[in-house]
Amino acid sequence: MILTCPQCGQRNRVPAARVADSPKCGKCKSALPPPAQPIEVEDVASFDEIVAGSPVPVMVDFWADWCGPCKAVAPTVSRLARELSGRAVVVKVDTERVPALAARYNVRAIPNFAVFRGGKLVAERAGAMGERELRSLVGV
């Protein structure tokens, strides 16, 4: 997972399992905060690393650029990523760019939200939802 240092702007690759350990920037040695915005996953390997290695729940937003409800719920997903920073990780998967993940989890309608804990799928729900419903789905 890539975390950007708020002090110097350096992009740092941090193993998903270490995100909650307060890793340090490789350039300036400042503490790297946990992700406070949705992480755009562009390949299956990155997704698998985050889901399997995250010590906190991972909420996945399966979406597509052409999907109106996906765009409508995007600000809520971003706000939730900020509010749950350090307690959950929010990941976005564009089903058009990474169709293998949509197929793996049998995503038939979008937006589709899935929650993983310890690498295991523990909750899933299709359709646009409000912040309260998404927060309840994540369980934090």
CATH of residue 25: 2.30.30.380
Same domain (yes/no): 71, 12: no
Same domain (yes/no): 23, 42: no
Greatest Cα pair distance, the chain, in angstroms, is: 45
- Residue range 64-80, pLDDT digits in tens: 999 999 999 999 999 99
Same domain (yes/no): 99, 132: yes
The residues, any chain, with a CB within 8 Å of residue 102's CB and separated by 6 or more, are: 62, 93, 95
Question: What's the sign of the alpha-carbon dihedral 65, 69, 70, 75?
Answer: positive
- Residue range 107-116, pLDDT digits in tens: 999 999 999 9
Same domain (yes/no): 51, 6: no
Residue numbers of the domain that contains 102: 35-138
29 SS3 class: coil
Count of domains for the chain: 2
Same domain (yes/no): 47, 69: yes
**Beta carbons of 26 and 46 less than 8 angstroms apart:** no
- Residue range 8-45, pLDDT digits in tens: 999 998 887 777 677 899 999 999 988 888 999 889 99
Same domain (yes/no): 20, 80: no
Same domain (yes/no): 39, 93: yes
Active site residues: 67, 70
